[in-house]
Chains A and B, each alone.
Chain A
Amino acid sequence: MRSYVPAYEMRTPATLAETLVTLAREPGIWRPFAGGTDLMVLLEAGKLAHRRFLNIWKLPELRCVAVAKDSVTLGALATYTEIQSHPILSAEFPLLCRAAAETGSVATQNRGTLGGNIANASPAADSPPALAVYDASLELISAAGSRWVSYDGFHTGYKKMLMRPDELIARIRLPRDKNNWIQYYAKVGTRRAQAISKVCLAAAAQVEAGTIRDVRIAFGSVAPTVVRAKTVEAALRGQHLNANVIAASRAALERDITPIDDIRSTARYRLRIAQNLLAEFLKTLPA
């Protein structure tokens, strides 16, 4: 049952500066609106409680992709289509490109943005595990200035994040430091396309002479937020891969994730698949 559309307001600020001034002047009253692929679904379902939006879709400062020696920085409005077609991103950040390709469909990918995905903070979002693995950091800007925060820990609970109401996600920075890591992405959804994930794993490991020097393991859909499996990571660092290590990792995972029953799947299934995907990832690493 649709929300009462006439009660909703959308203004299109002419500039980024105007956007930030408006957010600062009436914090919590205005919210940014990018591609709308999440917010419009809520509107149609009668669940969009917030009423006043600032259309940021065409702000150029939020769109560009900048490639520096040590990092790639994407504007928050980078769409999934743009992410998949960027040569450096495809070459060096395959997990993010895989996530983008698995999100929705062509039409959703043309309008869905990375910043919007982060701000919407669905626990089942496909990109956050990739961002977590890549040690992403976010630039939050406001009329008062800008600050960079680590993406790790940015989400503090279901739909809660370390961002003030007057702030806007401006850019996402990805260090170019995992090129020689072995990378893995697997999404188990309700079907092969246009699927909300039941379990999503992004992982990467740096292996030298059979020893795991460093590892990142991040899951979606098995906790109220994207979650780094830090118990598992800690247990794996410095290890030589063998069947016992894999078994121990599976067991350790139960401490890091809290899957639930919902209309799409069960806690038991999610836990098992998360463990299975973790094992599959570890099997790709040289022993």
Chain B
Amino acid sequence: MPDAPAKIEIECIVNGAPRRFRAWPMDRLLDVLRRELALTGTKEGCGEGECGACSVLLDGALVNSCLVPAAQAAGSVIRTIEGLALAGEKLAAVQQAFLDCGGAQCGICTPGMILAATVLLEKHPQPSETEIRAGLSGNLCRCTGYTKIFDAVVRACQSTGAAR
């Protein structure tokens, strides 16, 4: 059996709350979130950083959590799909727009897609179609053909206006 270095203790902020867990240093952040923290909203689609189903926000930046080793999550601020809804069960504008516009079909790409759309709108509050395509090009959807996802992003920036 191969050598087994020790698990490490990691502290970070996840969805606004301090969390602490033990993991192998090169455990994927994706697995840590799903397994140790029971945050199963973040999904595995490919394991190679291509599909974006595992997207989370790491220190404010969209990343593929299947490519982030747990050791690098130490001391970071992480936001997953579970942390997006506003207080009192009110959906964030992007989530509501996905519901209203049919942006989710089977739903497996949806958490990652919603996070990507959220950071896109933070960077470009009124994005052009080109900016939308570029901003979402790292999130693959096999069901929708993306048309209604674009509609949802446009709807979200209309309804957001100034408030988020």
Contacts and interface: CB of A to CB of B under 8 A. Distances in A.
| Contact-size category for A | 20 to 34
B71 A12 contact: yes
Nearest to B120: A106
Given A6-B2, A12-B74, A43-B26, A111 B63 contact: yes
A193 B72 contact: no
B116 A106 contact: yes
Contact of B26 (A8, A37, A45, A57): A8
Interface SS majority for chain A = mixed
A81 B123 CA distance: 12
B8 to A, nearest CB: 8
Nearest to A43: B26
A9 B116 CA distance: 31
B127 interface: no
B4 interface: yes
B50 to A, nearest CB: 6
Interface stretch (B80-88, B102-110, B131-139, B154-162): B131-139
A106 B5 contact: no
The 10 residue pairs across chains A and B that have the minimum distance between CB atoms: A105-B138, A193-B137, A10-B25, A8-B26, A40-B67, A110-B61, A10-B71, A7-B2, A9-B5, A44-B47
28 contacts: A6-B5, A7-B2, A7-B3, A7-B4, A9-B25, A10-B25, A10-B26, A10-B69, A36-B67, A36-B72, A41-B48, A41-B67, A43-B26, A44-B28, A44-B66, A55-B69, A81-B61, A105-B137, A106-B116, A107-B63, A107-B64, A107-B116, A108-B49, A111-B64, A192-B137, A193-B134, A193-B137, A194-B50
Interface of A: 2, 4-12, 33, 36-37, 40-41, 43-45, 53, 55, 57, 81, 104-108, 110-111, 192-194
Interface of B: 2-5, 24-28, 47-50, 52, 55, 61-64, 66-69, 71-72, 74, 116, 119-120, 133-135, 137-139
Given A40-B69, A110-B62, A110-B63, 12 more contacts: A5-B24, A6-B5, A8-B24, A10-B25, A43-B26, A44-B66, A57-B72, A106-B120, A106-B135, A193-B134, A193-B137, A194-B138
